[in-house]
Each structure stands twice: as C-alpha cells, then as structure tokens.
Amino acid sequence: MHSVAALQDKKVAIIGAGMTGISCVRFLTQHNVNVSVFDTRSAFDVDIQTEVQWGPLPPEALLNFDIVVVSPGVSLTLPALVNAMERGIDVIGDIELFARFNQVPTIGVTGSNGKSTVVSLLGAILSAAGKHPCVSGNIGTPVLDTLLCSASDTHPSAKDYDFYVLELSSFQLESTTSLALDVAAVLNVSEDHLDRHHNMANYTAAKQRIWNGAKRIVSNRQDNHTIASGASPDDTFGLDYSSRGMAWRETDQTILYHGQPFIDFAKCKLEGLHNVLNIQAAALLALAVGIDANVIENAVCAFDGLSHRYQTVVQQAGVRWINDSKATNPGAARVSIMGARAQTQGKLIVVMGGDGKGADLSALKPLLEDAVDYLITLGVDGKVIMALVDNSVYVDNMQQAVNVAKRVACSGDTVLLSPACASIDMFRNYAHRGDSFAAAVAEVAA
C-alpha cells in the first residue's frame, strides 16, 4: 500500500488523453500531484484543466520524469517509453496505479472472449448476495475514478465497496506489476491484438500476468493457456465432464459442480455454449469469495446478458437476427457461429469483417465451409474473409449487408453479425457497429 502524498514531490507524465488518461489526471490532481499530459494524436476536446501536449512524442521527452502513467491504447514499444524504461523510470498503467492504493478485496478476469459478460454476471451475483461490488477496469467507469473521494464526486468512494471486480485487457496487464488479486481468472486465449503483441507467445504472456500474486486462480481446463502451475482442479471449468470443479452435462443441459447438478441452463436467459463457460467461470469466482450456491443460481438465471453479445435483435417472418458485434476476434466469432449453427434448422447467414488486427483470418476457412451457408463481408479485411469460401459477397456498408441478408433469408434461417474483427475501420466502436446493424435490421423488418 502506497501513500498518495509520496507522489506529490514526483514529476509524473500521463501518456494518452482518452478516457483512461483523463481519469489518471483527475485522480492525481485531486491529490495535488502535478502532472504533464501528452497525446501522440492530433488535438481534440478534453474535459480537464491540465494542458495537453499534442503530437509525436520525441524519444527523449520523458527522461526528466519520475513516473510515467501510460494509457492501455499506447504501445510500450513507443521509443520514448522504451528510453524511459531503460533509464529506470517507473512506467506503469492505471491498473498498477490503482493496485498501489487499493485496500478492497479484488477479483480480476481476463481472456480473449467473455470478460465483460463474466465480470457483469459476477457483479450481479455479488449484488444479489447483498454485497456492494464495483465492476470496473476495461469496462464501465475507469477504475481510478472509483477511488475519488471528494464530497462532490458522483462516484462512491472505494471505502463503500465490498469487492472490486476488474475486467483486465492484455494491454492493461502488461503495464501492471503489483496487482495481487484475491481471485484471478483467465477465461480463454485465442488470436487477438497480434498487431500490438506481434505473436501469440507475447499475447499469452501478457494475459498470464494476472496470476502474479493471486491468492486463488480459476482456469479453463480445456485451454492450456489458462492453467497456472499449482492451481486446484476444484477451480476449473469446461464443457467436458469432471468430478471436480464446474462441468457440463449436455444431455439435460445441466451445469455440474463437483459432479452434482448446480444450474439448469434451460432456465437461464443467456444462450449458447460460450455462455455455459461464462456462467461456470462467474460461479467459481463467486464461490471462491464465499457466496451461497442458491444465491448464485438465482442470480445467474435472472441475468439477461449484455448488449451486442449474442443478442437477438428481432425474430421476424421466421428469421432470427442476432447481434454479436462484440465478437471482435476469430475465436469469439468461432464460438458464436457454432452456437448459432446448433440453434438453426435452416440457413445460417453470417456478416463478418472489419480490422483483423493482424490475426490469421484464414484459420476461419474450415468453420465457414462447414457451418455457414452464406457469408457477407465488409470492412478493410472483408475481402480477405470473402475469399475463404465460394458462397460469399463483399459489401460497402452495414445497410448493404443487411439488405443482402434480407434477400437471402427465409423462414427458419438465422442472420448473425459476428465480425471476427475490430470495428475501428468503419465505426466508432463495437457498440456503434452493433447499433448500426440493429438499426438496419429494424428498417428491413418494418
């Protein structure tokens, strides 16, 4: 545990003036720490009084600072950051800054897919148990904003929380060294962000940093990338059978715990095998902090999921339209396509494409050939995906994609938006992409 007062004689630089960077400014300036703010982009409006230095960062720009707080969207390979680290300057992220001052029990979740659903579901479970959790990190309110304690602040102060539940990205974890979680989970690891991490080994290592200092670890026993040495089989989950931990009995759609029925999945509002895994992970995390099994079951069955995560937009003229815009990498798309295929008697029509972030999109070819009847692609890497299979077409925008799907679809078919790519080439974010899909569907279904 550090003292904020100890920072007041330090020279602190904040790199990035987006949501995370601004939360760092608010936290530090509230405690009378003088900060300098840099952003390598062109100037845009920011909600702070501190002056921002815009534009490219010279390689020597940070060498006179004691601490550099870097936003997760900024690569640690930036020459100015590399030079600072080589000089021994403390280069950290907002999660590390949080970890140095937090005194509340904390649960952390990472993985390529399912993080937001798991932390949101866990938050709902803890609330149902009468606890006051704060769900933050890579979701919702920036975590440093939750530590603010002025009387005028709209957020509760940290002392009001029973637990922090943090969604943690690989970008956040690679700049974190002292986060010691009460329970940590790696849900899965599949290709993502290789434009930043360059290879799977680096990406996996970043995810696995969540284990450092963790008191207890929850793992997916069917994904070797998620299993830490010494972790207990009692804290594992999967779609296989196991007499220890969480397991799955497909014959009667039952989630098992230590071999015994735990949750009747048919009673849950969440759909798809990927959500079986999400429920198992959230339940294990809740059990690890002492939540009653009955409370967990009731909260899980009542939870209706998050927007843009395998969300039915409408079922019209026998055609089901599903928005899974959050499927921003091939692993996520694979899961949602397999789930939709299992639920569809007619044709499965899939809309894919966007910025592939350096992933090997050709790995999708066998799945597209086996499970997808008609493929519609768009975006900067859409033509790469289209070329993988014959029964496909490239379009210029989301409205065209939905119009094509409308012409192709018949009663009994499913149209699934499962991009396998980031949205930033055409949309503000995945939510904007999902909203655009939903709006286009509403127009053709009217």
% pLDDT > 70, the chain: 95
Portions of the chain given CATH number 3.90.190.20: 311-445
State the burial class of residue 261 (Cβ atoms within 10 Å of its Cβ: 0-12, 13-18, 19+): exposed
Distances (CA, A) of 410 to 216, 315, 405, 443: 49, 12, 10, 17
What is the CATH class of 4-92?
A: alpha beta
3-state secondary structure of 304: coil
Mean pLDDT of the chain: 92
The CA-based angle 247-261-133, given to 5 degrees, is 75
Give the pLDDT confidence of 354-406 residue by residue, as tens digits.
999 888 899 999 999 999 999 999 999 999 999 999 999 999 999 999 999 99
Query: What integer is the mean pLDDT of 98-107?
Result: 94
CA atoms of 241 and 251, how far apart (whole Å): 12
Q: Which pLDDT belongs to residue 151?
A: 35
| Residue 154 pLDDT class (50, 70, 90 cuts) | very low
| Residue among 102, 188, 193, 278 flagged as catalytic | 193
Give the pLDDT confidence of 323-364 residue by residue, as tens digits.
999 999 898 899 899 889 988 999 999 999 999 988 889 999
% pLDDT > 90, the chain: 77
Q: Pick from 29, 24, 27, 30: which is nearest to 39 by CA?
A: 24
CA atoms of 136 and 275, how far apart (whole Å): 21
Is the alpha carbon torsion for 12, 39, 165, 214 positive or negative?
negative
Superfamily of domain 97-302: Mur-like, catalytic domain (3.40.1190.10)
CATH of domain 311-445: 3.90.190.20
Portions of the chain given CATH number 3.40.50.720: 4-92
Provide Rg for the chain, Cα atoms. 23
Ramachandran angles phi, psi of 295, nearest 5°: -65, -45
Q: Which pLDDT belongs to residue 110?
A: 96
Ramachandran angles phi, psi of 152, nearest 5°: -90, -5
| Residue among 113, 138, 188, 220 flagged as catalytic | 138
Q: Which pLDDT belongs to residue 16?
A: 94
Under 8 Å between Cβ of 14 and 33: no
Close Cβ partners of 154 (under 8 Å, ≥ 6 residues apart): none
Is the alpha carbon torsion for 100, 106, 111, 117 positive or negative?
negative
Strand partners, 167: 109, 137
Give the pLDDT confidence of 1-46 residue by residue, as tens digits.
566 777 888 999 999 999 999 999 999 998 899 999 999 999 888 8
Active site residue 258: no
Give the pLDDT confidence of 208-219 residue by residue, as tens digits.
999 999 999 999
Q: Pick from 212, 224, 213, 219: which is nearest to 234 by CA?
A: 219
Q: Pick from 228, 231, 246, 230: which is nearest to 286 by CA?
A: 246
Under 8 Å between Cβ of 437 and 314: no
Portions of the chain given CATH number 3.40.1190.10: 97-302
CA atoms of 335 and 323, how far apart (whole Å): 14
Query: What integer is the mean pLDDT of 304-329?
Result: 91
Residue 150 has pLDDT above 60, yes or no: no
Active site residue 193: yes
Distance between first and last Cα of the chain: 57
Active site residue 138: yes
Beta-carbon count within 10 A of 50 CB? 16
3-state secondary structure of 406: helix
Close Cβ partners of 89 (under 8 Å, ≥ 6 residues apart): 62, 63, 65, 66, 67, 68
Q: Amino acid identity of 332?
A: A
